[in-house]
Amino acid sequence: MPMVTVLYFARLREVLGKSSESIALPASVRDLEGLRALLIARGGAWEQELAPGRPVRAAVNQAMAVGDVQIADGDEVAFFPPVTGG
Amino acid sequence: MMVRIQTADFDVSAEIAALRRNNPKIGAVASFVGVVRDVNDGGAVAGMTLEHYPGMTEKAIEEIVVQAKGRWKVIDALVIHRVGTLKPTDQIVLVVVTSGHRGDAFAACEFIMDYLKTRAPFWKKEQSGEGSRWVEARATDDIAAGRWRLKG
């Protein structure tokens, strides 16, 4: 199975209770939206925080990304709130 | 181009001097310094912690500077952003742009700052007497970044 590293930052890191994990991608998951759906299916805080319409941003291999970006073995995916630097 | 993420404070004069040293082509230096306020959204702020995404932060800012160099005549640019624990009156961010003329320097400096606010992965958590809270992104920051799409 393809493996991806998933990172969580800021408020999401706190609410979800972890900063990173390795996830084995089932054959049905090939893009960012699919991975998000896989996480939402965990229920609880995952479902609440990552549900469609929630203010969540994502990056694939350290570049901002949206829903249909393909993900593959070895990729680094991150989920985080809209940024507030500067 | 230089991008630095650091916990330590920075000396604006020393950074500007280093950026323009021995370059007689530079006719303009524009700089922006962001500072921690003691109030935000009407509430008192005692301090803040800045988190970032190591690796992506540097790439995102470098990409923004490359875009600025494509749009204006920029000779060089420096971005320093602090992370970790900060208190009111502390400096958070420095953007310096050198150019032949002020128009390019002003515009590129403002562009870099506007894009940094919406594209660079930093998050602020503010502390007050009532506890701490993650700062929420402002719609006005998206508007500020978006208006550059309409400008030449």
Q: Flag whether pLDDT at A73 surpasses 60.
A: yes
Answer whether B120 touches A (CB < 8 Å).
Answer: yes
Q: Flag whether pLDDT at B74 surpasses 60.
A: yes
Structure confidence by residue, pLDDT tens digits, B48-57: 999 999 999 9
Query: What's the mean pLDDT in B25-44?
Result: 93
Q: What length does chain B have?
A: 152
Q: Do the chains contact at A86 and B122, CB–CB below 8 Å?
A: yes
* Predicted confidence band of residue B151 (pLDDT cuts 50, 70, 90): low
Q: Do the chains contact at B134 and A85, CB–CB below 8 Å?
A: no
Query: What's the mean pLDDT in B81-92?
Result: 97
Domain ranges of chain A: 3-80
- Among B85, B47, B136, B140, smallest CA distance to A11 is for B136
* Predicted confidence band of residue A66 (pLDDT cuts 50, 70, 90): confident
Q: Do the chains contact at A82 and B136, CB–CB below 8 Å?
A: yes
Alpha carbon A77 to its chain centroid, in Å, reads 6
Which residue bears the tokens 């996830």? A23
Q: Flag whether pLDDT at B152 surpasses 50.
A: no
Q: How far is B27 from chain A (nearest CA, A)?
A: 26
Q: How far is B50 from chain A (nearest CA, A)?
A: 8
The answer for residues whose C-beta is within 8 angstroms of residue A51's C-beta and 6 or more apart is A40
* CATH code that applies to domain A3-80: 3.10.20.30
Answer whether A64 touches B (CB < 8 Å).
Answer: yes
Round to whole Å and give the CA distance between A23 and A35: 9
Asked casually if ipTM beats, i.e. exceeds, 0.85, the reply is: yes
